[in-house]
Structure 1
Amino acid sequence: MKYLISSVCLFVLFFQSRAQIGSVSGPSSSASSTFISDPLNNRPYYGNNSDIEGNTFFSSKWSAGSIKTANGIHYTNMTLKFDAFRNEVVFLINDSTFVFAEEIREFTLNTGSKNGGVAKFVKSNSVAGSLPPKYVLALAEGKISFYMHQKKNLVTTTGYNMADRKIIEDRNTYYIVQNGNSQSVSLNKKNLEEIIGAKWQEVNAYMEKNNLSAKSEAGWIEAINYFNTL
């Protein structure tokens, strides 16, 4: 009997060491239940090649976050990163990194920065078919929605008598979705006025009162969020 109890305890410890425990809700589970995700059911994440310089991630730090799958399951209390170069959500279990096997529709990262510290990403084809086929960062959502696609480009530089260097460079593109239509935009006052339309005087007065710039991402976020309340 003592041997049997010891064997069961060892099995439980081994199983828990291969798993992550967190909250889950959705059509096939109760909101108060837990899930155990075996990393063997997901895909290992191999990271950067050693010869690539720069950061492929939206944030280099691990963040608490949540995931909603295409099947409507909501996983919370996870430890996540977003590899913007590979367009993959990476999660951590016992100091090992894995990629979700299920299709992800939406995820959040508690970064402590934008949008009150929570960065929300959505699969672009769930927003508008004309957006790039990647995840986009939701900066403002409502009658007018404002998204950013953080593109990570791999650039190779050459020099005389020097080895080639592979460098990751950021290039952000902004999109507006309004009445089901999407368009890429440059951040300036003329474009913002055209997008806001008939409510521009009210929005412009709000921006002037709060010293908001139409050339900045933060200014556009505040202006569009204000418009969405009118």
Structure 2
Amino acid sequence: MAEDYAAKMSRKTDAELRDYVTNRYQYREEAVLAALTELAQRGTPEPTAAGLIAELEVSKQETDRRELAVREQEAEKEQARRIARGEADPETATETGPALYSPGTITVFSVLFSMVAGGIMLALNLRTLRRTGPALLVVAFMLVYLVGGGYLLFWLKQLYGNQYNWLGSFFNLPAVLIYNLFFWPRYIGPQPYQSRPWLAPLLICGLIMLAFYYFALRFQGAMPTV
């Protein structure tokens, strides 16, 4: 329950009220505003009251925003602890928290399209959580994986011909496992979140795939026949 500063200030002496104004940075904004109001009601207003009130109102809004952010963060941590202890249903927990692409969505996009699609979605999750360092780490992992994995497949093909072409079908699988078993637990964890809609990414990936096949067919058609 919020403290009744008006009633509290009505019991203060004028000197005590002036102390609230003079040393206002030591008190809550609501208390100082109530002291200014009480002085005005007693017929002894503070000469600079108008400027002080405007300053205190701005400061109060900033304080309220900080305290709300702290309360929301604590609520999310408590909900995560309850989920970890099995005291809360994860289905219910998704009603609160930031909007993130779920591990299932990241897995499906990685398998259907590419590990790049899943990695971008994971990096967007980390960006939403304002974890820029881990997001850049995911991007770096994707680049290293593409170069290293592509070189490995090329080396196997040069060494054994087409005998190991089937490995290309499993190219995305190790990346998916690293997304779900390393990056998500380490940098996101069991915190509650809302499932982010996946229709827009699906349309974008679909259009990219169509464009890729279109230009691939055009390129094959343009090649001279022997």
TM-score exceeds 0.5: no
Task: From the two aligned structures, give the one with the greater helix fraction.
Answer: 2
TM-score by length of 2: 0.21
| CA radius of gyration, larger in | 2
Instruction: State the structure with bigger RCO (CA 8 A, min sep 6), 1 or 2.
Output: 2
Task: From the two aligned structures, give the one with the greater strand fraction.
Answer: 1
TM-score by length of 1: 0.21
